[in-house]
Amino acid sequence: MPAVDGPQMKSLRILLINKYASVTGGADKHCLDLASLLEAGGHRVSLLASGPTAYSGIQCVVIPSNVTHVQRDELALPQAAKVAMSSLWNPSAAAATKALISTFKPDLVHVHKLYPQLSVAPVAVASVGNTPVVQTVHDYEFVSASPVDHTARSRDHAESRGSYRVLNSTLFQVKRRVHVPRVSKWIAVSRRVRDIYAANGIAATVLPNFTELPADIPAFAQRDGVLYVGRLAPEKGVADVVCSAEASPRIAHTIVGDGPERPSIEAAAARLANLTFLGPLDKSAVDSRIAGARLLLMPSLWQEPGPLTALEGLAHGTPVIAYPNGGLAEYVEDSRGGLVVPQCSEDLAKAVGTLYADRRQWDAASAHAREAAERVHSPDRYVKAIEAIYREAIHDHRPRRLQR
């Protein structure tokens, strides 16, 4: 991340906690970029996470990962039982948090995603140590048993297996009864997320996500095709990208990512001459694809809170087409950096055909996208805002009285 301009405030010691020390999703990327951003701003940062390797860019304590989405279906019953128990209380995460609070002496703990790898242990230990806890919410895990469910259901209905649904429903009770009361300040990545959390008794400060700003922005004539980047899952609306390719056979469509819908996407790519499936790509390759695409399609069917991919599209001046759901639609509408269309594959395909060919409309959307990325979603703006939240959390923190 680039150095942050502006006057330096008194430095803080910040313990960031996230379930992975590598990038497996948007929350991981956000947390690791934030670590670099805070250090560039003069603060001292330590990261606690799980994984096979440590994040190389910053002081990092890594405990072994107990499970991943890739591994979980292959676990034998004794291993699965052990994973379930550690998701309720991970003693390694508790010990590591206690040691870091003792040696690193953080001014506050900033938590991102914990479950199921790290459990509630880091938050509980921080509370016992009377260290303020700031929580960024990247989904709906503290209002519903399923993180992709914004409707406040205490039982998970999204997971495919009954055992996963039971575990998520049990973890939700732990989150509400143990985790939530121990958080000093909540951060929501969009107004939509803030409103959903507020309706469920959790008041959060809105702080939109940030993104790096590339120097070179290719013009309309230098770009070709439309792009989808993301998890290949039903809630992401990737099937509607295939519908768009079918409706516009002269426009090249490219899909990047991995997930449970991969077989159907591979089959569609084999069937359609204008649809290319590339699988998962590294960050530099994704950036190159976004910069070279004329449009970025993000037809999410769930209330997507504040996706980084949309911001990366805005930063590259690549107009985004989305459905009217969650913080994703909010980012696109606020920036005027694309189109928000009714949740319908026909409307998506029509918008693609219109914006792809209209040079004047595309130029305006591209310019608005870039301006919003610089003005609203810049790293500099983000670090100043989060510094204020940190200091407020420290100032307002009231030590919890231990029960005798």
Same domain (yes/no): 190, 119: yes
Same domain (yes/no): 314, 387: no
Same domain (yes/no): 205, 113: yes
- Give 44-75 pLDDT, tens digit per residue: 999 999 987 777 678 899 998 765 555 555 54
- Residue 133 sits at φ, ψ, to 5 deg, of -115, 125
Sequence-distant (≥ 6) Cβ neighbours of residue 110 within 8 angstroms: 14, 15, 16, 17, 34, 133, 134, 135, 136, 390
- For residue 5, being part of any structural domain is answered with no
Say whether the peptide bond before residue 52 is cis (omega within 30 degrees of 0).
no
- Give 146-184 pLDDT, tens digit per residue: 999 999 999 998 877 777 888 899 999 999 999 999 999
CA distances from 320 to 14, 102, 281, 297, 317 (A): 34, 46, 20, 6, 9
Question: Residue 218's pLDDT is what?
Answer: 97
Q: Which tokens belong to 137?
A: 């919410």
CATH number at residue 57: 3.40.50.2000
Residue 355 scores a pLDDT above 90: yes
Q: In 21-159, at which residue ranges do the beta strands (DSSP E only) sit?
A: 44-50, 60-63, 108-111, 133-137
Domain range spanning residue 385? 13-210+379-396
Q: Which tokens belong to 242?
A: 């295939």
**Predicted TM-score of the model (pTM):** 0.92
Q: How confident is the model at residue 7 (pLDDT cuts 50, 70, 90)?
A: very low
- For residue 402, being part of any structural domain is answered with no
Question: Residue 92's pLDDT is what?
Answer: 95
Q: How confident is the model at residue 5 (pLDDT cuts 50, 70, 90)?
A: very low
- For residue 346, being part of any structural domain is answered with yes
Q: How many domains does the chain have?
A: 2
- Give 364-403 pLDDT, tens digit per residue: 999 999 999 999 999 999 999 999 999 999 999 877 654 4
- For residue 188, being part of any structural domain is answered with yes
Same domain (yes/no): 26, 150: yes
CB distance 140 to 148 below 8 Å: yes
Distance CA(191)–CA(123), nearest Å, equals: 25
Same domain (yes/no): 350, 384: no
- For residue 1, being part of any structural domain is answered with no
- For residue 322, being part of any structural domain is answered with yes
Q: How confident is the model at residue 23 (pLDDT cuts 50, 70, 90)?
A: confident
Same domain (yes/no): 194, 235: no
Same domain (yes/no): 118, 234: no
Same domain (yes/no): 348, 299: yes
CB distance 138 to 30 below 8 Å: yes
